[in-house]
Amino acid sequence: MKKEIKGNAILKKPEYPGGIKALKAFIARHLTYPPEALENRIEGTVHLRYGIDHTGKVTDVKIIKGIGGGCDEEAVRLVRMLAFNLEHTRGVRVLFHKKIQIHFRLPVERPVQQPVQEIGYTITPAKKTTPETSRPQKSYTITITYS
């Protein structure tokens, strides 16, 4: 007979406050692309392994797979800023280990728009009279200038 597993684990895993969406938003908000990586057009994914101590602070960050160009150091800086919620450790000081991937993608370059040429125009009324009618006809002269 199998024993039914209940949802109450002895030790609960650490969670980022707000969940995975909040973690992704934090990374997107605080990630700064290294200037060296921008110059050399380096992009890719940095794989990291880190520990979370009994207080929820990140310790012992190690790079599993890096891409260079300053991206590795930026990923380590970013992971060290994280803080997790720990619940129900039952007084035991446990070190949890997690893995994370930080993606570095070059910003999309948008084409520079050419300035719109200004077009000036003037309208001057010119009165003409036709021999058929005694009434004057209205006509206009339009002058367009480009600058």
**pLDDT of the residue at 7:** 56
Kindly tell me if the per-residue pLDDT of 46 is higher than 60: yes
**Residue 28 located in a structural domain:** yes
Return the top range by mean pLDDT from 8-12, 40-44, 85-89, 106-110.
Answer: 40-44
User: What is the tally of structural domains in the chain?
Assistant: 1
pLDDT band at 55 (very low <50, low <70, confident <90, very high): confident
**pLDDT of the residue at 101:** 95
pLDDT band at 49 (very low <50, low <70, confident <90, very high): very high
Average pLDDT, the chain: 81
For residue 58, count other CB atoms closer than 10 A to its CB. 20
**Residue 65 located in a structural domain:** yes
Show the beta-strand stretches assigned E in the chain.
44-52, 58-65, 96-104, 119-129, 136-146
**pLDDT of the residue at 14:** 87
* pLDDT tens-place string over residues 59-114: 999 999 999 999 999 999 999 999 998 876 667 788 899 999 999 998 887 777 76
Kindly tell me if the per-residue pLDDT of 25 is higher than 60: yes
**Residue 142 located in a structural domain:** no
**pLDDT of the residue at 62:** 96
**Residue 36 located in a structural domain:** yes
pLDDT band at 45 (very low <50, low <70, confident <90, very high): very high
Note down the domain range covering 81: 19-104
Q: Which residues pair with 83 in a beta bridge?
A: 57
Q: Which CATH number fits the domain that encloses residue 72?
A: 3.30.2420.10
Q: Produce one character per residue of 23-47: b if its CB has 16 or more CB atoms within 10 Å, e if not.
A: beebbeeeeebbeebeeeebbbebb
pTM of the model: 0.66
**Residue 26 located in a structural domain:** yes
Question: Shortest CA distance to 15 belongs to which of 23, 5, 24, 25?
Answer: 23
Read off the pLDDT of each residue in 117-131 and give the average, rounded to a whole number: 60
